[in-house]
Amino acid sequence: MVFSSCISHPLVSLKISHFEQPSNLRHNVKADQRFTSALKSRTTEHFGQRAGIGSGVLGEWSFARGTRLVIRQKVSTFVHCRKSFEVQASWLTTSQIASSVFTLGTAAVLPFYTLMVFAPKAELTKKSMESSIPYVVLGLMYAYLLYLSWTPDTLRLMFASKYWLPELSGMAKMFSSEMTLASAWIHLLAVDLFAARQVFHDGLQNQVETRHSVSLCLLFCPIGIVTHVVTKALTRSAGNNTHRMH
Look up residue 22 and give its DSSP letter: -
Q: How many CA atoms lie within 13 A of 162 on its CB side?
A: 0
- What pLDDT does residue 17 have? 41
Neighbours of 110 (CB within 10 A): 11
- What pLDDT does residue 243 have? 64
Q: Is the pLDDT of residue 45 over 80?
A: no
For residues 53 and 44, the answer to whether their CB atoms sit within 8 Å is yes
Residue spans of the domains in the chain: they are 2-78, 89-245
The CA distance from 126 to 150, in Å, is: 37
| Average confidence (pLDDT) over 60-65 | 49
With H, G, I as helix, E, B as strand and everything else as coil, classify residue 53.
strand
The model carries a pTM of 0.61
| Average confidence (pLDDT) over 98-120 | 96
Q: Is the pLDDT of residue 54 over 80?
A: no
pLDDT 10s digits, 142-174: 999 999 999 888 888 888 777 788 888 888 888
- What pLDDT does residue 118 have? 96
Instruction: Find all residues with CB under 8 Å of 41, minimum gap 6, and list them.
Output: none
Phi and psi dihedrals of 35, rounded to 5?
A: -65, -35
Of residues 206 and 56, more confidence is placed in: 206
Most confident range (mean pLDDT) of 24-38, 54-68, 154-168 is 154-168
With H, G, I as helix, E, B as strand and everything else as coil, classify residue 72.
strand
Directed axis angle between helix 178-206 and helix 211-219, to 10°? 170
Instruction: Find all residues with CB under 8 Å of 58, minimum gap 6, and list them.
Output: 69, 70, 71, 72
With H, G, I as helix, E, B as strand and everything else as coil, classify residue 106.
helix
Least confident residue range of 71-80, 92-101, 146-155, 220-229: 71-80
- What pLDDT does residue 246 have? 61
pLDDT 10s digits, 189-246: 999 999 999 999 999 999 999 999 999 999 999 999 999 999 999 999 887 777 666 6
